[in-house]
Amino acid sequence: MLNLFWALTPGRWRVPLVDLICMISAGGRLIPKASVGAIITSGVDGSQRVFLVRRAYQPFKDYWCLPGGNIKRNEQAIDAIVREVKEETGLDFEPHFWRYFDEIIPDMGIHSIVLVFTGPALGETGLPRDEVTEICRFPLTEARCLKLAFCHGMILDEFAALQGQSSLLARAMSPTKPCPTVVL
């Protein structure tokens, strides 16, 4: 059954209808989406802290994630991350490209190339927006142990390794795998 928002693909994945339309326009192939994520950092008492937002919608409703989202058609990645951070947190982000991640969760029909930016942000966090229910700043070690959406646990582990923090302890204590499989 096809409705306005969701469609069942041949692989029995529930995907947004707009994704199915993109798949059809790509000759029937499910092509990766391009998305952006922000590691907004601040140092307090010598410890690294990161901003996370709690998702208001499926997939991964009530999970924490990095601010970010999909790149709009004809939008540059750097503009997309500045827009997404502003929309989700109210902060003015100063992005510096760090690296990309493959975000592949077949059970959910998710295949994205995530461009991750790091940097500080200015301003005050606003009230939670439509897409998020909460905005918080966590010590990096604590953030890595939260229930994280998509592959954001893996992203934070890689960032922690860059900062010289071991990822083994945090991942062992984390309630999710780097790319959790969730049944909707």
Pull the structure tokens for residue 38.
């922000």
Read off the pLDDT band of 63 (50, 70, 90): very high
Cα gap 37→50, rounded to integer Å: 12
Cα gap 33→124, rounded to integer Å: 30
pLDDT of residue 167: 46
| Mean pLDDT in residue range 107-131 | 90
Question: In the CATH hierarchy, which fold is given to the domain comprising 17-138?
Answer: Nucleoside Triphosphate Pyrophosphohydrolase (3.90.79)
Read off the pLDDT band of 103 (50, 70, 90): very high
Cα gap 141→95, rounded to integer Å: 22
- The pTM of this model reads 0.76
